[in-house]
Amino acid sequence: MSHFKAPPKKNLGQHFLADRSYIDRIVMAVNPKPGDRLVEIGPGQGAITFPLLRKHGELTVIEFDRDLITPLMEASEGVGRLTIIHKDVLQVDFSKLAGDEGPLRLVGNLPYNISSPILFHALEHAGAVSDMHFMLQKEVVDRMAADPGSKVYGRLSVMLQAYCTVTSLFDVPPGAFRPPPKVDSAVVRLVPKPAAEIGIADPALFERVVRDAFGQRRKTLRNALSQVCTGADIEAAGLRPDARAEQLAVADFVRLAQFLGSLPPGDRPA
């Protein structure tokens, strides 16, 4: 094992994966191929880093904790070519990182306290990413992959599924980490859809429709979206104004946003 011991930092939400069988399953799920550009977010002590590096030969990692930089570099000697970006992942421009060399494959055991912002940040650069394999709190993965009508289907489900194919792969128990978190974890795969398949002309309007629709779950669409459109607009888009957000499929939200975006400027949401 090439990874090293460093005390986890509570303020950074660090829980280091230590169970070899789950590490192997993650590496198998990623299944790197020659020429792939792998980027790991938050390598920590290198539990996933070094098995990936051994298998693939090169890897770029983004690590915010300066105390982990030197140990990671030292442990990588003789294993493969490790490039370390010492930065907050939310400040990393994935499109720039991908450059002209082809899309990135993102991997990471994401810090649970900022997992949603990281997901949305990756989405902003979806054109530069071919797929993502993340370990997150199981509850978050359940929400990401939820179907309409499910209790946990909401804004996160719709926003991610509009832009990506989301697949929950397997659960990881607390005992697989050091220190054990208080919650179960799960590994999820996200594959960005081609732009033509997404069909969202105005991402900001789409996001607003989704956010308002789920803002007060018990409200009907007519009431929840009163700042964005009228009941007549909802009907004209082929939806029922008395439906609730959790009853709508992702394609319904896309259709509504596209309809609102096509209205004459004076009738569009401000």
Is it true that domain 10-196 has CATH number 3.90.79.10?
Answer: no
**Backbone dihedral region for residue 223 (phi beyond 0: left; psi -120 to 50: alpha; all else: beta):** alpha
Following CA atoms 151, 157, 161, 162 in sequence, which dihedral angle do they give, to the nearest 10 degrees? 110
Q: Which fold would CATH assign to domain 203-267? A: Helicase, Ruva Protein; domain 3 (1.10.8)
Instruction: Give the model's pLDDT for residue 107.
Output: 98
Following CA atoms 116, 121, 125, 126 in sequence, which dihedral angle do they give, to the nearest 10 degrees? 0
Strand partners, 38: 105
Instruction: Give the model's pLDDT for residue 9.
Output: 46
Residues of the chain with pLDDT under 70: 1-14, 269-270
Could you tell me which residues are annotated as the binding site for S-adenosyl-L-methionine?
15, 17, 42, 63, 88, 109
State the span(s) of the chain assigned CATH 1.10.8.100.
Answer: 203-267
Instruction: Give the model's pLDDT for residue 15.
Output: 72
Could you tell me which residues are annotated as the binding site?
15, 17, 42, 63, 88, 109
Instruction: Give the model's pLDDT for residue 270.
Output: 64
State the span(s) of the chain assigned CATH 3.40.50.150.
Answer: 10-196
Instruction: Give the model's pLDDT for residue 45.
Output: 87
Instruction: Give the model's pLDDT for residue 5.
Output: 57
